[in-house]
Amino acid sequence: MLSDQGTERESWGPYPLILAGAVVGVLVIFFVDPRWGGFALGAAVMVGAALRFAGYGGQLSVRSKRIDVTTLAVFGFVMVLTSLLLDSNELKAFILSLFAR
């Protein structure tokens, strides 16, 4: 007799899509431009946050939904912001002026 353990397939959900976006972002960082690659990588992470928020869990669900969405969204936003700051002195000055108060 075969048991039912291990017969259910794991739900991958949107994980392959986010992984493909992250791979493309890293490749763009190395071969094209770090700014655009960081932007693409951060965008892929934020798409993962949006999909996790929408209820698509699969392999993206590690902790509670709130923790997953918050972590992915903040990390993606910081990556996008960092990629925008890499070459813009005006934007750097503006961001630093916000924290100088």
Look at residue 76 and tell me if it is in a domain.
Answer: yes
Look at residue 71 and tell me if it is in a domain.
Answer: yes
Instruction: pLDDT tens for the chain, 101 residues: list them.
Output: 444 454 445 577 778 888 899 999 999 989 998 889 989 999 999 998 898 888 877 776 778 888 888 998 999 999 998 888 877 788 778 878 888 76
Look at residue 62 and tell me if it is in a domain.
Answer: yes
Look at residue 10 and tell me if it is in a domain.
Answer: no
Look at residue 36 and tell me if it is in a domain.
Answer: yes
For residues 48 and 16, give the distance between their C-alpha atoms in angstroms, rounded to a whole number: 10
Say what the pLDDT of residue 27 is.
93
In the chain, how many domains are there?
Answer: 1
| DSSP labels, 31-86 | HT-HHHHHHHHHHHHHHHHHHHHTT--GGG-SS-HHHHHHHHHHHHHHHHHHHHHT
State which residues form the domain around 63.
15-99
Q: pTM for this structure?
A: 0.73
Look at residue 91 and tell me if it is in a domain.
Answer: yes
Look at residue 8 and tell me if it is in a domain.
Answer: no
